[in-house]
Amino acid sequence: MRKGFRPVVLLAILALLAAACGGGGGSGTGAGGGGGTDAEEVLGDVDLSGTQIEVAAVWTGSEQESFRAVLDAFEEQTGASVTYTSTGDDIAAALGPRISGGSPPDVAVLPQPGLLRDYTEQGVLQPIEGFVGETVDANYDPIWRELGTVDDQLYGVWFKASNKSLVWYNTGTFEDAGVEPPENFEDFLSAAQTLTDSGVPAISVGGADGWTLTDWFENVYLRVAGPEKYDQLAEHQIPWTDESVKQSLRTLADVFDPSLLAGGTQAALQNDFNTSITRVFTEPPEAAMVSGSDAVSGVISADTNAQLGSDADVYDFPEIEGSGPAVVGGGDVAVLMKDSEGGRALIEFLATPTAAEAWASRGGFLSPNKNLDPEVYPDDITRNIATAVVESGENFRFDLSDLQPSEFGGTPGRGLFKLFQDFLSNPSDVDGITQQLEDAAAAAFR
């Protein structure tokens, strides 16, 4: 679910520039000299005994415990001692005083791509090309290098990813209606009608949380308009009245047909994110499927009696008119805040499959590292979701609303959240809603 987002400009989600800025020919100034793919190759026999390193991130609870396992693996290999500082959700507020006071942590893991750009523009971050560029090129598809690059300098290693291009479904409702998980949008709508006709409303929507509606739009828009248009819209280089937006909204209007929604439009507007999930996996089910990120699995496990893999399953958000695989998602990027030997070594380690494996084997984690063996994931569902992220390649895009100025893309009751709730209320008024979206975007981007 959403954390608080700061005003940002779209970072790096442009047409891939891998040929121009890839290649990283690192200078080998880090602990291991770059060029390898896994931790032993990258760090070699480096000895950091007695070295103290601090890393800060938002994770608490079970996520903190899992990241601690990653840091334990690093300590075991290098002899360093790593202190973990949890900042809570608002990492910018926690790091701000430390940055201004000249005492930032060696490494921070940022949950917002815009924050990477903000800190880079403030001169807070250290460039990392020279010691980890080759490892990034070896272990990641070019889009992830681009997402960690500002002004042609590499500043971040993407350690953790999320996948928001998923549809979770109640397997019993599908079996009873005789439908299979669809691969394209035409089949999705056909399956939705069949499910509804069988007596279970097809789609549960959590419209009380406006960001769930932006996720619906982003998935449709990426497939209808394509990655280049998605990038242009995210930077407001094209208006929200563009025909590509209108075409996407007309497509989404077919999903928001009140007859397909659990409880109709009013219930969809009143359901929050968690409720939209539990309605699908309660007994008897009140809906057959719900679109959501990999985080949905945690809600299913915590708030329902449904068993993942038997009662509950997932499929990729369907293609639209041959769009091919695409993923809207997010992630957490490791950055170097102090130019220390230990910090460099930790950044290098986080770019390796060894680091990803330490968390992936515990669950609750997706890695964008293409050289992580998917067999380390604890179950088929997570394995398939993670594979979709890796295989989306140049068609991976960050959540568009997260990349907008906060008053337009990240504020409940305003901007995208409010206007997509209005669209859910009246999906027939495409021209009216696109003009309102454009007016709000123009004001935010001034």
pLDDT in tens, 315-342: 999 999 999 889 999 899 999 999 999 9
Does the pLDDT at position 279 exceed 90? yes
Residue 397 near residue 325 (C-beta atoms within 8 A): no
Q: Which two tokens stand for residue 187?
A: 């089949």
One fold for both 23-163+329-398 and 166-326+402-444? yes
Q: Which of 287, 276, 165, 289 is nearest to 218 (CA)?
A: 165
Q: Which pLDDT score, from 0 to 100, does residue 71 have?
A: 98
Q: Which two tokens stand for residue 76?
A: 């075991």
- For 372-400, write each residue's pLDDT tens digit: 999 999 999 999 999 999 988 788 999 99
Does the pLDDT at position 46 exceed 90? no
If you compute the radius of gyration of the chain from its CA atoms, what whole number of angstroms results? 22
Question: In whole angstroms, how far apart are CA 432 and each of 38, 357, 425, 436?
Answer: 53, 49, 13, 6
Torsion of CA 181, 184, 190, 192, to 10 degrees: 50
Report the number of secondary-structure helices (H) and strands (E) in the chain: 21, 12
* CATH class as words, domain 166-326+402-444: alpha beta
Q: Which pLDDT score, from 0 to 100, does residue 38 have?
A: 82
Q: Higher model confidence: residue 6 or residue 317?
A: 317
Q: Which pLDDT score, from 0 to 100, does residue 25 have?
A: 33
What is the average per-residue pLDDT within 215-244?
A: 97
Please, which pLDDT band fits residue 33 given cuts at 50, 70 and 90? Answer: very low
Q: Which pLDDT score, from 0 to 100, does residue 36 have?
A: 52
Q: Which two tokens stand for residue 297?
A: 């699995």
CB-based burial label for 446 (10 Å; 0-12, 13-18, 19+): exposed
Sign of the Cα pseudo-torsion (386, 392, 398, 401, in order): negative
- For 97-125, write each residue's pLDDT tens digit: 999 999 999 999 998 777 898 899 899 99
What does the alpha-carbon distance between residue 149 and residue 88 come to, in Å, rounded to a whole number? 25
Torsion of CA 439, 440, 445, 446, to 10 degrees: 60
Question: In whole angstroms, how far apart are CA 424 and each of 24, 252, 429?
Answer: 46, 9, 10
Please, which pLDDT band fits residue 22 given cuts at 50, 70 and 90? Answer: very low
CATH superfamily membership of 23-163+329-398: Periplasmic binding protein-like II (3.40.190.10)
Question: CA 177: distance to chain centroid?
Answer: 32
Question: In whole angstroms, how far apart are CA 206 and each of 25, 73, 170, 189, 211?
Answer: 47, 39, 17, 19, 9
Q: What's the maximum distance between 2 C-alpha atoms anywhere in the chain?
A: 67
What does the alpha-carbon distance between residue 10 and residue 401 come to, in Å, rounded to a whole number? 10
Q: Which pLDDT score, from 0 to 100, does residue 41 have?
A: 84
| Spans of all domains in the chain | 23-163+329-398, 166-326+402-444
Neighbours of 127 (CB within 10 A): 17
Mean pLDDT of the chain: 90
Question: In whole angstroms, how far apart are CA 203 and each of 163, 212, 286?
Answer: 19, 13, 9
Q: For the stretch 224-242, what's the b/e string if a residue is b when 16 or more beta carbons lie within 10 angstroms of its beta carbon?
A: bbebebbbbbbbbebbbbb
- For 292-313, write each residue's pLDDT tens digit: 999 899 899 989 999 999 999 9
Neighbours of 184 (CB within 10 A): 15
Please, which pLDDT band fits residue 274 given cuts at 50, 70 and 90? Answer: very high
Share of the chain above pLDDT 90, in %: 78
Residue 210 near residue 271 (C-beta atoms within 8 A): no
DSSP track, 369-423 = -TTS-GGGSSSHHHHHHHHHHHHHGGGEEE-TGGGS-HHHHS-TTSHHHHHHHHH
What is the average per-residue pLDDT within 365-371?
A: 95
pTM for the full predicted model: 0.82
Q: Which pLDDT score, from 0 to 100, does residue 43 have?
A: 86
